[in-house]
Amino acid sequence: MNFAVESGVKSMGSGVEMRKNQTLICAPLMADSVDQVVVLMHTAKLKGADIVEIRLDHLKSFNGRADIEKLIRECPLPTLFTYRPIWEGGQYDGDENSRFNALRLAMELGADHIDIELKAAHEFNNFIRGNKPEKCKVIVSSHNYDNTPSAEDLGNLVARIQAAGADIVKFATTALDITDVVRVFQIMVHSQIPIIAMVMGERGLISRILCPKFGGYLTFGTLEPGKVSAPGQPTIDELVNIFNLRLIDTDTRVFGIIGKPVSHSKSPKLYNAAFKAAGFNGVYVHLLVDDVPKFFETYSSTDFSGFSITIPHKEVALALCDEVDPTAKAIGAVNCVIRRPTDGHLFGCNTDYIGAISAIEDGLLGSHHGPTGAGSPLAGKLFVVIGAGGAGKALAYGAKRKGAKVVIANRTYDRARELAEIVGGQALSLAELGDFHPESGMILANTTSIGMQPKVEETPVPKEALRHYKLVFDAVYTPKITRLLREAEEMGAKIVTGVEMFIGQAYEQYERFTGLPAPKQLFKDIVN
């Protein structure tokens, strides 16, 4: 049975909207009292959940039949009752007979689903003596908080769960590496009965977002950030409004940002809104990747179509591409990798310098957008780059191409000298920068993390030195206005924020990902 694809309009908790799959969004409800759970049920419906999981093991007091009757009567959505024992990661530490009795009552009183652990399923089946209402679907579940077993072991686990009388198979494993998730997708795709398969932890996040693509029965979404029933659960709001879960189907192309760390990235918000607005069948996800070669080798399907690359993987990713744009090769780093649909080959390019240089040119030109026929406003200007890493290389190279005279300043002078030799410029140590002003009207570009949250009081250049600059750019975009930019403005310089660079490089990537023109105003509205 394929639970992945169904086009049409469905009535959702949050109103009527387009829906391309039958994967349910389940809100786990955990509270001290039944009255609190009832309040949460209505919140879940408002937020767009399709079903609620009532976690009986979290209740501080529980009065069997009366409480279950109330929970079922008051619930505006279909129900799933779970009474998870401590030995399977839950809160219940009483005797099994009481637990089984509560689940049996839930079945008899009209629950839509109940969840019983594989380890207890045989005993529970004996307890109910086969008396199962037709309406109630039994989920038999298994949770592994240590790792994700081999594909063979997962296949055997699913067979055991089915043999235990499951109407719906459920298993959750733990991701030690993002490549673990592939084995779970393979099991989901081939399952003959409804299946819930999650990989816990940040490295397993894509299992929760992409499950409609691979035929998952449901995915869990929390009511608010942090209040999770298992590690790595996103919120309902994120699933519906950032990742557009309702629009994912078997043909959806997957894009994402590869980095470590990566959860802070605003890219999914940007690209998914643009995909939805354009009617483009794609989803853009966070990809916490430890080992880039292993990632590309494992996710080799052309369904995984394109990637933004961020710290610390830009240089490694370049080496793995089958073909690299000459500019990216000269910079020595890629921030965008496209998988060609015809042969699966990886093509790498660098849009960092385009985003930053365009933003700086626009800043210099004021209200004019883009260079005029007279060439770049950077031509002949002294352009000081702070930092000699991937972003520093990209900006130095971009400025040089526009005709600027490039100076590299870095904490370690040797790194500055190496990059200056490559691009044909001058090198300084960061300490020397405060006294460096051979001419006025210079351009300054910080490409380091100095001044980034949480160290917002740091700045790479003394305030007094900023009077010699016409324009100051900072690649840091958290916060949007860094101390460097604030002080530069106070000294009379034009400023360009890292947000402009972020948007600029995203335009180019979006067009490479989709073949469509970038929705520039939409990007600006989302980020600003």
Residues in the chain where the model's pLDDT stays below 70: 1-17, 367-374
Residues 491 and 448 in one domain: yes
Residues 343 and 380 in one domain: no
CA distance 349 to 136: 53
The stretches of 366-447 forming alpha helices (DSSP H) are 390-401, 413-423
What pLDDT, on the 0 to 100 scale, is given for residue 6? 33
What CATH number is associated with residue 35? 3.20.20.70
DSSP β-bridge partners for residue 442? 469
SS3 letters for 321-342? CCEECHHHHHHCCCCEEEECCC
What pLDDT, on the 0 to 100 scale, is given for residue 374? 64
CA distance 188 to 130: 28
What CATH number is associated with residue 513? 3.40.50.10860
Residues 55 and 160 in one domain: yes
Residues with a catalytic annotation lie at 143, 170, 314, 352
On whether the pTM is more than 0.85, the answer is yes
What pLDDT, on the 0 to 100 scale, is given for residue 227? 87
Task: Give the strand pairing for 218-220 and 253-259.
Answer: unpaired
Residues 329 and 180 in one domain: no
The stretches of 336-430 forming alpha helices (DSSP H) are 352-365, 390-401, 413-423
Q: Is residue 253 part of a domain?
A: no
Residues 477 and 517 in one domain: no
CA distance 305 to 324: 16
Q: Is residue 260 part of a domain?
A: no
Q: Is residue 355 part of a domain?
A: no
Listed residue (277, 278, 280, 283) closest to 255, CA to CA: 283
Residues 237 and 160 in one domain: yes
What pLDDT, on the 0 to 100 scale, is given for residue 352? 87
Cα dihedral sign for 120, 121, 122, 128? Answer: positive
What pLDDT, on the 0 to 100 scale, is given for residue 490? 98
Q: Is residue 359 part of a domain?
A: no
Phi, psi of 172 (to 5 degrees): -130, 130
Residue range of the domain that includes 413: 376-496
What pLDDT, on the 0 to 100 scale, is given for residue 396? 95
Total count of domains within the chain: 3
What CATH number is associated with residue 389? 3.40.50.720
CB neighbour class for 43 (10 Å; exposed up to 12, middle 13-18, buried from 19): middle
